[in-house]
Structure 1
Amino acid sequence: MSAHDGNKKLLLELVKRPENSACADCGARDPDWGSCTVGVFVCLNCSGIHRSFSHKVRSIKLDFWEDSLVECMRSKGNAKARELYEKSVPCHYYRPQQYDHTDLREQWIRAKYERLEFTGEVKYPPPSYITGFHEGHLWKKQKEGSQFNERMFVLSEKELTLAYYIKDSEFKGPKAVIPIKDLNAMFQPKIGHSHGLQLTYQHQNHTRNIYVYHETSQEIVTWFNCIRAARYAYLKTAYPTGKDSELIPMITHNSLKEGFMEKTGPMQKETFKKRWFVLDSQSRKLFYYKSPLDAHELGAIFIGMDSNNYAVEDCTSKFPRGNKWKCGVTLDTPERQYLFMCQEEKEQKEWLSALRQVLLRPMAPQDYATEANINNRNLSLLACCRSRRAHGTTAEDAMASGVDVSGAVEL
């Protein structure tokens, strides 16, 4: 056996060990690359990030390995590297997974091996996600329109708020102050900028979306982890007996599924309209919007449990009602049946799978209050719309009668 074949056999044995069988950085199974500079086994995507800041990277199966590089991998490995480079990762700091946004994976790798943020050594100045305070400029999308304007944002863990200002001077007062209590942050490629976040919170009994971005990957990831730090501080006060294993999944979350579907009205005789849908599995809400970057939803549907008269099934279009798409999804709730149409069978199957995931998950105590609020609002709107159709009244008349039609205006 040649030295080359011997080294390859040794590397294949090393990477099969339990501690090396997943990517050291994102957890992808069966990594087949090695970052020789730090001695870790990584996946193809993470290997590119290592290479971008001059780490020596080799393919286990395709490249030639010198004896010295093989010895480096043998003497180190993922477990030892984790002990050194992840010694003091804050529990709220987001550890990216295989399919997470590139910014998250890149800055996690750079924070570990390049900036050495988690080795336990004292950093000066300390990172913002440790101090509980962060301020800086982000580009924010206008509530109406597609333009982004530069705004100053200030996050305070002490005040449990995120504020933003039209002018740089804080003495002129913030344009808005967002409570950390209801704030969620997630990376959002649909913004159209590489380093973009979607910030979501509750505003006047409706969901408000704010879209922001920064020119640099490092800064937007810093904002994300600072928000997570403040959210963790809030959760520790809101649930003083809660364990970290229970609180960490509640800090931030991604939508389970997003995309366009066609939607008709409650009588299923109305014209179909193309809408952007977002399934938030944590709140058990299916939101729908006119377009993907809307600030407010047109409506929200609560997704209960299958044991409580909620169900989802596939269907086909039976009658021509203006719908261009033919792959249907019916969502039954105790109040009504919703009918949606997907463009392709693949999208239909993905929506069915995502909705069933929520249907099968047990409801938390707070979910019942959410269910009551959404269903009562939708029932009031349904009665309002039927009354308007029967009597020819306007939305202004409905609001004057005490019905809130400012948010979910479409059924």
Structure 2
Amino acid sequence: MAESAIVALTRKDGNGVCADCGMENPEWASISVGVFLCARCAGVHRGIQGRVKSLSYDNWDNDSLQIMEAVGNKKAKEKYEICVPVYYKRPDSESVDVLRKEWIVAKYDRLEFTDPDKQESYNCATKTGNLWKLGRDRKQFAVRKFVLSRATNKLVYFVNEDTVKPKAEADLDLVNAVFVPEKIGKLFGLQITFFRNGSTRNLYVYSDNSKDIVDWFMAIRAAKWERRRIAFPDRDLTQLAEELTKDFLMEGWLYKMGPKNEPFRKRWFTLDRRKLMYLEEPLNAFAKGEVFIGHKDAGYNVSMGAAQEGDRGSGSQNSNFLFSFTLHTPDRDFVMRAETQEDMEKWILALQKVVELPLTTQDSRLAALLVPKKSSNSFRLIKR
């Protein structure tokens, strides 16, 4: 069977991947802008009044074919992505819907990347606005005033508009921001973490407006980018941008054994780059404990099974240790257990990748805060 004319066009000019998220083998196309798309990005285009067609199931007339042939992904990129900031986090095939949507709307509707002046909502010296924030103890969302300042390198929030003293402030160098809509239960939910006074603080926020929450996310990245660009003039700019914020490598429920062979207790674990946190509940403001994970050359490692199983009552034949694994650190072994073999294997793989990564400048700063001064190979365990 001969290849259709529209499918043949996917073989050239960068058309073999989605124009917006980079997913391979796009199955849709936007007639409105002349680009090839994956199903998820096509859905966003349709939602903003874009004309989309399936490459396989829709009929293609000559006019539509001529549009796709005249434009295509390469030319569209040259038109709509003239000045995308290096710090702007483009979505990939796994990105959350809100990041994908705002990238597409910003690119084709607001034409945000054709003129730097259209990026002032996040590329700014100071950003002020309101977000819904989950209370630390009451577990209810309330509106709070947030202010981001490049001059002070701080992100702060206030209980209300008239409050002079901030309720909390975060050093932007130690801030991470991750979209977690399912965990928060809000479509436009963001988790902001920062290290302060010896432990990590988790802020769970959302906005009723998708552009607003993405603007805050990009403002954090833009502020961090400007500071690092000046501090590290010789570093590769793309690499600097990749380190601004990082999605959590893993999250989920695990069972953790206490330090003195105490029974396993169910905890919510979050692997945030080199920091492993465990919480009683996913939306806790503070972790029960957190561990800095260093490089394998410093004595960090992960293995399947429970370390010193013989001292814990029988080893692999004990069902309590089914799907268990151990994080080895210079001062302590952490024994954890997953509910399935698949989860166990995912956690082991994620932890192994961390211990094999070289430490960055930011990693070293975090280590200095988490690790006691008496030993550079140690860790700090914070218990609540």
2:42 to 12, 31, 47: 47
What is the deviation of 1:360?
A: 1.6
Deviation at 1:35, TM superposition (A): 0.5
Structure 2: where are the runs of 5+ without partners? none
**Which segment drifts farther, 294-303 or 368-377?**
368-377
Q: Tell whether the 8 Å contact from 1:92 to 1:248 is kept in structure 2 after alignment.
A: yes
Q: 1:208 to 1:23 in 2, by over 3 A?
A: same
Taking a change above 3 Å as real, the CA distance of residues 376 and 122 of structure 1, as seen in their structure-2 partners, is closer
Counterpart position of 1:227: 220
What CA deviation, in whole Å up to 9, does each residue of 1:288-329 have, x standing for no partner? 111111111111222223333322122278748998672101
Is structure 2 residue 94 aligned with structure 1 residue 99?
Answer: yes
Change (3 A) 1:367 1:179: closer
C-alpha RMSD over aligned residues? 2.6
Which of the residues 289, 296, 307 maps onto 1:299?
289
Q: Is the 8 A contact 1:271 1:323 kept in 2?
A: no
Distance change (3 Å), C-alpha of 1:298 and 1:178: same
Q: What residue number does 2:167 align with?
A: 175
Kindly provide the CA deviation profile for residues 41-90 of structure 1, in whole angstroms up to 9, marking residues without a partner as x. 00000000000111110010111011100000000000100011111111
After TM superposition, give the deviation of residue 117 of structure 1 in Å: 1.0
Change (3 A) 1:196 1:114: same
Q: Distance in 1 between matches of 2:155 and 2:212?
A: 16
1:276 aligned to 2:271? no
Is the Cα–Cα contact under 8 Å of residues 260 and 274 in structure 1 kept in the other structure?
yes
Letter in structure 2 aligned against 1:285: K
1:408 matched to 2:374? no
Structure 1 residue 198 and structure 2 residue 191: aligned? yes
Shift of 1:183: 1.4
Deviation at 1:39, TM superposition (A): 0.1
Structure 2 counterpart of 1:288, one-letter code: Y
CA, structure 1 residues 334+212, in 2 after alignment: closer, same or farther (shift >3 Å)? Answer: same
1:158 to 140, 146, 151: 151
TM-score for both structures, normalised by structure 1: 0.84
Normalized per residue, which structure has more helix?
Answer: 1
Q: 1:163 to 1:119 in 2, by over 3 A?
A: same
Contact residue 305 and residue 321 of structure 2 kept, 8 A? no
Aligned partner of 2:82 among 78, 81, 87: 87
- The question of 1:186 aligning with 2:178 is answered yes
Kept in 1: contact 2:268–2:281 (CA 8 A): yes
Corresponding residue of 2:109:
114
Preserved CA contact (<8 Å) 2:13 2:72: no
Alignment CA distance shift 1:167-1:370 (3 Å): closer
Following TM superposition, by how much is the alpha carbon of 1:110 offset from its aligned partner in structure 2, in angstroms? 0.3
Q: Name the CA distance, whole Å, in 1 between partners of 2:116 and 2:167.
A: 39
Q: Where do 1:233-272 residues align within 5 Å?
A: 233-267=226-260, 269-272=261-264
Residue segments in structure 1 that go unaligned for 5+ positions in a row: 383-403
AA at the equivalent of 2:47: S
Is the contact between residue 261 and residue 277 of structure 1 (CA under 8 Å) also seen in structure 2?
A: yes
Counterpart-to-counterpart distance in 1, 2:290 and 2:373: 10
SS of residue paired to 1:338: strand
Q: Does 1:27 align with 2:19?
A: no
Question: Is 1:352 equivalent to 2:324 in the alignment?
Answer: no
Change (3 A) 1:154 1:68: same
Q: CA deviation at 1:161?
A: 1.9
Contact 1:86 1:112 in 2 (8 A): yes
Q: What CA distance in whole angstroms lies between the structure 2 residues aligned with 1:31 and 1:21?
A: 7
CA–CA distance in 1 between the matches of 2:52 and 2:153?
43
Q: Which moved more, 1:108-117 or 1:246-255?
A: 246-255
For the pair shown, which has the larger CA radius of gyration, 1 or 2?
1
Change (3 A) 1:230 1:85: same
Query: Helix, strand or coil for the counterpart of 2:287?
Result: coil
Matched letter for residue 243 of structure 1:
D
Query: For 2:279, which of 254, 264, 289 is the aligned residue?
Result: 289
**Identity over the aligned pairs, expressed in percent?**
37
Aligned-partner SS, 1:177: strand
- In the other structure, the counterpart of 2:32 is 37
Deviates more, 1:112-121 or 1:140-149: 112-121
Secondary structure at the counterpart of residue 129 of structure 1:
coil
Question: What's the offset of the Cα at 1:368?
Answer: 5.2
Q: 1:64 aligns with which of 59, 78, 99?
A: 59
Which deviates further from its counterpart, 362-371 or 178-187? 362-371
